[in-house]
Structure 1
């Protein structure tokens, strides 16, 4: 039985990664600060090592005590985190960094590993923690992985696009699930055809395991649903799995502005298509969960949770203002 260390591991991607590793006969240790509820607290198969991943000594001590064969790094948000981790874990079998599709600099369709350029990252951006520099920092983390592999470290990167699924604390999809479940009419920005490819969280977890087992050091691997839905199709699929009917009300930027809104006010809206090529990962034996099944699992967990996504999009009052205006046209 192999030893796995998951840095992070209790909230979303990390939580599913722990479950994926357990299902494939790994002994798992979670390394984090213990600031969030641990869903594995009563699971004797999951050990917890409390520490701060930005503290190099604590991370090194955890490495020496756990002696992991693979390391999955879910919470490296600054390039320094990746540089130090690739040094500390230079002699494990595999170190896998959770990067992001946001690391790509241009809107190629689709974006391909090793072909589509990555974002640049200035010294100031590298130590920032704002949403605006997220992609820059993830791209610089990728470059740290590549440099570490050149030195002989077993470092690899996995780039998911927007991740969704059970226990998603971002609540971006929960906004739409809640609206569809509660109301008969829902405003969809624009004509609903915008495409922002998503990645089902269990598929991200399986990708991390597969890359750790089969990946090549110094390589990056994209992850995303093999069937990318438009926003309108996403909302319609959500209604189907919620077993409800909903009328989609399309609104332009001009119409939305009457309520102080814009197209970008809505979660999962993106003005240009965002698609990742996943053939490289598929060549390792990875498969994507059908979106219908992924949505059904996501809906089931949403109904048992208390997430509404209200803070991620327009208020219902503003939405009803737009609907009322459109009804008069």
Structure 2
């Protein structure tokens, strides 16, 4: 039976991945800072750990055990990556972690894995480290320096009923309140991944010992106008949209250009991708129904 360590597995799709691992019979240990209750009472071991602090006492408990695999949902930058390498070292076989669509730069009609190569990326110490740059640097450090195998999951925006960021909720609420929604470009395409699909992909990769970088998204992408059409259909509301060249706030899915992943690589490896309409439209309706019932 495999021993799996999960860093940050108490919220959203990390929590879903832990549940799937338990369902598959893995022995799971969850490491968190201990600020919130840990789900799965009696099913998982818990280590209190601040994974961004190399001197934290929790690392002693981590290093006292042998792990067949580690899934890390909270590695955000180069320093986090260096701590992982220091602490896991030669004793770990395989490390899986959450990266992001945000690693990709530039305006392109769909990003593929080769559009960002961590093996050739050079870290600029003077560059501002935002979320995307942090993930680029983390991938660079891990893929060029780690003594263990590495897998990076490049996710787009992850959506589900329990998305604590409530990004889709924002648009559903605006529709129900007859508030204007703003986008810059009606033709710019976007895609997402459902939280349960993200968790399935993580567990699939662990079970099949996949290595390298993988885009994981819906198999298709839609324009912002199609998004609005679906939102009108699922909420039963006519929506006023302001397509503007001005700077926009309060519209978390807005970009001026295409912003989506092409996930053919993982599909060819055997993981089945969802199409957006099969789950995004029902999710819109579920959220609308929940809001109306409140």
Q: Give TM-score, length-normalised by structure 2.
A: 0.84
Matches of 1:167 and 1:120, distance apart in 2: 37
Q: Does 1:148 align with 2:145?
A: yes
Q: Does 1:73 align with 2:72?
A: yes
Matches of 1:64 and 1:173, distance apart in 2: 40
Q: Does 1:252 align with 2:246?
A: no
**Per-residue deviation, 1:191:** 5.9
Matches of 1:195 and 1:123, distance apart in 2: 33
Matches of 1:120 and 1:275, distance apart in 2: 24
**Per-residue deviation, 1:144:** 1.3
Give the match for residue 322 of structure 1: none
User: What is the number of equivalent residue pairs in this alignment?
Assistant: 288
**Per-residue deviation, 1:4:** 1.3
Pairwise CA RMSD:
2.9
Give the match for residue 223 of structure 2: 230
Matches of 1:47 and 1:113, distance apart in 2: 35
Does structure 1 conserve the Cα–Cα contact (< 8 Å) formed by 2:183 and 2:248?
yes
Pick the aligned partner of 2:191 from 192, 197, 221. 197
**Per-residue deviation, 1:297:** 4.6
Give the match for residue 88 of structure 1: 87
Give the match for residue 311 of structure 1: none
Does structure 2 conserve the Cα–Cα contact (< 8 Å) formed by 1:225 and 1:288?
yes
**Per-residue deviation, 1:171:** 1.6
Q: Secondary structure at the match of 1:163?
A: strand
Matches of 2:230 and 2:153, distance apart in 1: 27
Does structure 2 conserve the Cα–Cα contact (< 8 Å) formed by 1:211 and 1:284?
no
Matches of 1:247 and 1:157, distance apart in 2: 40
Give the match for residue 24 of structure 1: 24
CA gap 1:121/1:147 in 2 versus in 1, 3 angstroms: closer
Q: Does 1:5 align with 2:2?
A: no
CA gap 1:75/1:248 in 2 versus in 1, 3 angstroms: same
Matches of 1:299 and 1:31, distance apart in 2: 35
Give 5+ residue unaligned stretches, structure 2. Answer: none
Task: Report 1:134-213 matches (<5 A).
Answer: 134-149=131-146, 152-180=147-175, 182-184=176-178, 186-190=180-184, 192-213=186-207
Q: Does 1:274 align with 2:282?
A: no
**Per-residue deviation, 1:122:** 3.0
**Per-residue deviation, 1:267:** 1.8
Task: Report 1:241-320 matches (<5 A).
Answer: 241=234, 244-253=235-244, 262-263=247-248, 265-295=250-280, 296-297=282-283, 300=286
Task: For residues 188-219 of structure 1, give each alpha carbon's deviation from its aligned partner in whole angstroms, at most 9, with x where no partner exists.
Answer: 435633222212222222222222333454x2
CA gap 1:211/1:245 in 2 versus in 1, 3 angstroms: same
CA gap 1:124/1:249 in 2 versus in 1, 3 angstroms: same
Matches of 2:24 and 2:265, distance apart in 1: 22
Give 5+ residue unaligned stretches, structure 1. Answer: 309-329
Matches of 1:148 and 1:59, distance apart in 2: 23
**Per-residue deviation, 1:236:** 3.5
Matches of 2:110 and 2:188, distance apart in 1: 14
Q: Secondary structure at the match of 2:46?
A: strand
